[in-house]
Amino acid sequence: VRYSVKKRSGLFSYVSIFPKFIHHFSEFDDQPIINQFVQSSFKKIWQAIFHNFELLHKEVDPQDEKDQINASVMTIGNFIFIQFRKFTLPREYFGE
Amino acid sequence: VNTLENEAIIKDAKKNYELQLSAYSNLALNLVLHEKITAFFDLLHKTLKSGAKPEELLYNVNFSKPSVKRLFDSWSDRDARAGIEKVYMRVEKHFAETPNLKPVVWASIKDNFLKSSSTFSQDFKRVYGNDLPIPFDMQNLISFIERQLHQ
């Protein structure tokens, strides 16, 4: 799903789903094959999520204040959501 | 999980988030203090950082006492209150879809206000000493924000 700075959105669908997705997979911790799959995919998913945040800012027209505000609001909202949610996820998923 | 790699990704994302949050808070500050005043303090900070001597700045047309007085005269407490109400409406509108996040955004805006205000007053005192007072008290503005939030 691509979001645009021209239209402000709240939580991105993939951001709101991601913590639940990880939770479901973490229930299979005792199954090495699934666990290995989750671990190897995790980095790619993180990268894709944050890459989309960066794409938003590349789309901003520097002359247009509204674009800038929309990009900031979307990044702030989604990042804070991830920050809140991270406390309910296993710490190792966050490289801490 | 390769924790080191994840750490780097999260660190980059956090940097991006902090940048955006500060850009958003600066827009809020512009509404409260007027763009001209924040631009003046930004320029003052950059000039001092570039190594200019504080006593020489008074001869610069941008920083002379009469022009600073004129600049401050154009601002009043009432404008700041109207600005804060505008900021409040903006945050309500921008984060309407994610109401749980509003307190965090407000806390960040207040932090940014306090941080900016301490930089402003440090720079200002270096150049003008006690000859010119800064017309706004950021702590007062913040308590006004808090009152607004509890209404």
Please state, as a whole number, how many other Cβ atoms lie within 10 Å of the Cβ of residue B36.
Answer: 11
CA nearest to A42 within chain B: B1
Task: Write the Ramachandran bin of A12: left for phi over 0, alpha for psi from -120 to 50, otherwise beta.
Answer: beta
- Looking at beta carbons, which residues of chain B come within 8 Å of A47? 9
Cα separation, B58 vs B127, whole angstroms: 7
Cβ density class A42-62: b for 16+ within 10 Å, e for less: bbeebeebbebbeebbeebee
- pTM of the predicted model, to two decimals? 0.77
B2, B27, B100: residue with CB nearest A69: B27
Contacts of B147 (CB under 8 A, 6+ apart): none
User: Long-range contacts for B25-28 (Cβ within 8 Å, ≥24 apart)?
Assistant: B25/B108, B25/B109, B25/B111, B25/B112, B25/B113, B26/B112, B26/B116, B27/A65, B27/A69, B28/B87, B28/B90, B28/B91, B28/B109, B28/B112, B28/B113
- 8 Å CB contact between B58 and B93: no
- 8 Å CB contact between A61 and B2: no
Which candidate in A68, A73, A78, A94 is best for mutational testing of the B interface (most B CBs within 10 A)?
A: A73
Condensed to tens digits (0 to 9), the pLDDT of residues B18-45 reads 888 888 888 888 888 888 899 999 999 9
Question: B8 to chain A, minimum CA–CA distance in Å?
Answer: 8
The sign of the CA dihedral B34, B39, B40, B44 is positive
What pLDDT score does B1 carry?
A: 45
The sign of the CA dihedral A62, A5, A3, B19 is positive
- Looking at beta carbons, which residues of chain A come within 8 Å of B111? none
**DSSP one-letter code for B74:** T
Q: Where are the alpha helices (DSSP H) in chain B?
A: 3-33, 35-49, 54-57, 65-73, 77-94, 102-128, 138-150
ipTM beyond cut 0.90: no
The chain A residues in contact with chain B (CB within 8 A) are 8-11, 39, 42-43, 46-47, 50, 53-54, 57, 65, 68-69, 71-73, 75-77, 79-81, 84, 92-96
- Looking at beta carbons, which residues of chain B come within 8 Å of A65? 27
Which candidate in B22, B98, B108 is best for mutational testing of the A interface (most A CBs within 10 A)?
A: B98
Cα separation, B107 vs A76, whole angstroms: 13
B7, B94, B105: residue with CB nearest A95: B7
Cα separation, A57 vs B147, whole angstroms: 34
pLDDT along chain A (96 residues), means of 10: 78 81 72 73 80 84 85 87 64 51
Condensed to tens digits (0 to 9), the pLDDT of residues B55-82 reads 888 898 888 999 999 988 888 888 888 8
Helices B65-73, B35-49: crossing angle, 10 deg rounding: 150
Q: Which is more confidently placed, A48 or B5?
A: A48
- Looking at beta carbons, which residues of chain A come within 8 Å of B95? 10, 73, 77
